[in-house]
């Protein structure tokens, strides 16, 4: 049992170590290769391209290269080119508007390798050359534009830049994808400060105008309300004597009602005046009135001398 287990362990370790070595030797002598998704293998032997594989999957090299497959990895070289979509952003490309304003334009663009051979051998730095080409196209196409158009028509600007670059980039194995102008800004700090001051002053003017217009509207509404209220109060003051006179006339038609009304009014005035009142019962009133003349002092009479 121990020997069997030890044999299984050594067999597993030997297989785990031998298989990678075996596959490495097979790839080194060009028996097969594996091309990943969105990648390309370019085989160069003695300074010339002998095979290009851009289809992903498992490939046998001997049927395609013959005896060259034995030496292509030893004496030659295999270039693995990435065919995936790539992106780059160029910041603040210097242009001038038609009015002479120094502007900066940020351009975002996509690119991918369309021809692996040209990408490897036509240009030493195709990515840098494409960036320089896009930058030059931005300056050529977007300079001397009106400032209003430069700030508003980004879609047309993007199409103009792409039409200027796409056919030239393909010569280096790069193909330009989408181009989009993402940012348009002023490059002069003093100009930016002046624009900010103008915007702030304009906002202050608009705010003051809005406040003044609001105050004017409030004044108009207030004066209109006061005028209408004054008219209504004057109309009420004019109608009051008429209403009171009509009521008194109606009251005066009945003497008892008239007498009772005047007594009520007299009593109300007495109560409102705050004077001291002495209430005398009705039965003692005659006696009290009779005593009042006797208690009064006699008037002083002057004798004729």
| Extents of the domains making up the chain | 16-82, 86-187, 189-251
Strands (E), 114-162: none
101 closest CA partner among 180, 195, 196: 195
Per-residue model confidence (pLDDT) at position 50 = 87
Return the structure tokens found at 103: 């502007």
Is the overall model pTM greater than 0.85, yes or no?
no
Dist CA 57 CA 116 (whole Å): 18
> Which CATH number, 3.40.640.10, 1.10.10.10, 3.30.479.30, 3.40.1000.10, labels domain 86-187?
3.30.479.30
How deeply is 136 buried, as exposed, middle or buried, from its count of CB atoms within 10 A (0-12, 13-18, 19+)? middle
Please report, in angstroms and rounded to a whole number, the separation of the first and last CA atoms in the chain.
180
- How far is residue 253's CA from residue 49's CA, in Å, rounded to a whole number? 134
Q: Are 51 and 33 in contact (CB under 8 A)?
A: no
Residue 150: how many CB atoms within 10 A of its CB? 23
Spell out the per-residue pLDDT of the chain, length 305, in tens: 666 666 666 666 666 677 777 777 777 777 878 888 888 988 888 888 888 888 888 888 888 888 888 888 888 888 888 888 888 999 888 888 888 888 888 999 988 888 888 888 888 888 888 888 888 888 888 888 888 888 888 888 888 888 888 677 777 888 888 888 888 888 877 777 887 888 888 989 999 999 888 888 888 888 888 888 888 888 888 877 778 777 777 777 777 777 777 777 777 777 777 767 666 666 666 666 666 655 445 554 444 44
- The pair of three-digit structure tokens given for residue 58, joined into one six-digit string: 């498992």
CB burial of residue 139 (10 Å; 0-12, 13-18, 19+): middle
């Amino acid at each position: 049992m121990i020997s069997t287990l030890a044999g299984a362990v050594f067999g597993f370790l030997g297989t785990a170590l031998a298989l990678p070595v075996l596959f490495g030797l097979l790839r080194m002598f060009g028996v097969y290769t594996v091309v990943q998704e969105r990648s390309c293998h370019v085989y160069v032997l003695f300074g010339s391209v002998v095979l290009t594989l851009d289809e992903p999957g498992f490939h046998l090299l001997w049927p395609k290269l013959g005896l060259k497959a034995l030496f292509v990895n030893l004496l030659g070289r295999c270039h693995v080119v990435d065919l995936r979509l790539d992106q780059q952003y160029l910041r603040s490309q210097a242009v001038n508007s038609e009015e002479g304003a120094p502007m900066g334009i940020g351009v975002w663009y996509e690119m991918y390798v369309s021809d692996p051979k040209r990408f490897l051998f036509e240009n030493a730095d195709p990515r840098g050359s494409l960036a320089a080409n896009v930058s030059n196209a931005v300056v050529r196409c977007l300079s001397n534009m009106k400032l209003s158009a430069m700030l508003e028509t980004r879609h047309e600007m993007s199409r103009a830049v792409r039409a200027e670059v796409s056919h030239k980039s393909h010569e280096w194995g790069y193909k330009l994808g989408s181009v989009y102008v993402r940012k348009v800004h002023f490059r002069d700090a003093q100009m930016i400060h002046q624009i900010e001051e103008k915007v702030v002053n304009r906002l202050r003017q608009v705010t003051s105008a809005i406040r003044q217009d609001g105050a004017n509207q409030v004044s108009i509404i207030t004066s209109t309300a006061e005028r209408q209220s004054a008219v209504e109060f004057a109309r009420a003051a004019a109608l009051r004597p008429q209403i009171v006179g009509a009521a008194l006339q109606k009251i005066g038609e009945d003497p008892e009602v008239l007498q009772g009304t005047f007594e009520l009014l007299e009593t109300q005035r007495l109560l409102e005046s705050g004077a001291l009142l002495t209430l005398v019962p009705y039965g003692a009133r005659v006696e009290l009135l009779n005593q009042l003349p006797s208690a009064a002092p006699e008037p002083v009479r002057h004798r004729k001398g």
